[in-house]
Structure 1
């Protein structure tokens, strides 16, 4: 039997990789881009049948009343995070930003946002459970019909999302984005949290124990102006994008900071003023 030269082996490996990528795309299309179905096909364990949607005992800390910003510790369980990451990873695509062109908003790649993202559509027990939890937290102002599809975002080394606001892009029905949750599903990095340069958190009047507790959640001291929320797995930050008059609030300007090494995986949960 003839032996392959080193160059031939490289060729065989390259062809194998391309065939695998093509086969994955074919399977995703055949199963309507449902990665859960693919996971079942390949024998990986799923939570689809055994998952029970339960309310975790998360801690609520009000960071600011105006604008309303709240930190939610342990908002997403480790089991939920693992499932969402498994669900979203095969669907990751380069993230887009939206800008006006000829009066219309259109998505495009930008150096301002170098992460990857994936939309997590149901029906899926964990996706549905997290959406319901976010809806209940908001009460009457956050019905499920007003919520967007969950979006998972992945940040590798040096990947970031520059300062931006979540409002300013109307839905097809003309509704503004009223609130945001940003949850941390995975954080294998330091100083890679979410930065609000116009949000001041004054810890000057807090005692040593309270200050130590807050400093688990935010960078203190920080080299940046405003407030930097640490990337803590399972935690989430919630804020209102609009003021009491329904106008976009400039003070919730924020940025997704880049990992120097490792990775960060987050979850966007957006709610609009109305359905559609």
Structure 2
């Protein structure tokens, strides 16, 4: 089994060798790195092929992802367990459809807010909730003095983040859809976050952009750029309340499962848009799940 120190990223060549030797975890990790183009050009043929290999080698997570990505594939539905069946399931993934997000619709010109119905298929929403359910913990906010996370009473919900080492292909395809709908580069994406709001939990009024007059945030901006856009995906709908609210306009929006909401945190001239002050209102019944993708203006620098 490949053991990975996050400070020492694995070499795809080593992962390929381990995959060829029958390591399902290595095959799955190589699938993700091939999809995002880590130390290689993005290669979806290799990514899906390695996902199929991981499934054939017994990886439950790879098998579950293929069921999400190719729900109508006969071998997966029939429960077959041979390598040819998993290869067939991988070939059945309609990659063109996955990489073609729906067209956004403007719901507010200022601040610039867009709704994207049907951004993510329901099965993918369920998968992301499943992945996040065992990882969520108390959500934090930026400490303006240090740039580090801290607990604060204005934010009472739970959250978790998926970095490169914990992503899977369903999540990578979600991020690819974000790239295509925003027109922003892949290297500007922050780690994907998944947020859970239990009944009564909230993220009170706040902004997503960073203000450089605070030392901790200025350092973060210098390394990663401004957070110029936010995209939320509503992962479920079996709750009441829980709207995303914008203070300046009174807009309150709640999407159905799989819908997305996107807004620009900055103006065309690069200045921050203070009208984007918003809140995640508390559900009054049930539990709300959303995926949050913040987009930076530049690639991260150490």
**TM-score, normalised via structure 2 length:** 0.64
Computing the radius of gyration from Cα coordinates, the structure with the larger value is 1
Deviation at 1:47, TM superposition (A): 3.1
- Check if 1:149 corresponds to 2:199: no
- Check if 1:65 corresponds to 2:109: yes
Q: Deviations over 1:117-153 (max 9, x none)?
A: 11123441111101001101122xx111111111000
Equivalents in 2 of 1:57, 1:274: separation in Å? 23
**Structure that is richer in helix per residue:** 2
**Structure that is richer in strand per residue:** 1
Deviation at 1:32, TM superposition (A): 8.1
Equivalents in 2 of 1:70, 1:249: separation in Å? 15
Distance 1:138 1:43, change over 3 A: closer
1:159 corresponds in structure 2 to: 201
Deviation at 1:90, TM superposition (A): 1.1
- Check if 1:88 corresponds to 2:112: no
Equivalents in 2 of 1:274, 1:108: separation in Å? 25
Q: Secondary structure of 1:100's match?
A: coil
Q: Deviations over 1:24-69 (max 9, x none)?
A: xxxxxx89899x99xx989678433452343366353211233221
Contact 1:60–1:72, Cα closer than 8 Å, also in 2: yes
Provide structure 1 residue ranges, at least 5 long, that are not aligned to the other structure: 1-29, 200-225
**TM-score, normalised via structure 1 length:** 0.70
How many residues are matched? 215
Structure number with the bigger relative contact order (C-alpha 8 A, sep ≥ 6) is 1
Contact 1:158–1:258, Cα closer than 8 Å, also in 2: yes
Deviation at 1:185, TM superposition (A): 0.4
Q: 1:110 aligns with which of 131, 147, 152?
A: 152
Q: 1:175 aligns with which of 207, 218, 225?
A: 225
Q: 2:65 aligns with which of 40, 45, 48?
A: 48
Distance 1:263 1:45, change over 3 A: farther
Question: RMSD over aligned Cα, in angstroms?
Answer: 2.7
- Check if 1:188 corresponds to 2:238: yes
Provide structure 2 residue ranges, at least 5 long, that are not aligned to the other structure: 7-24, 30-56, 70-92, 211-216
Equivalents in 2 of 1:145, 1:59: separation in Å? 23
Equivalents in 2 of 1:32, 1:125: separation in Å? 21
Contact 1:59–1:74, Cα closer than 8 Å, also in 2: no
Q: Secondary structure of 1:187's match?
A: coil
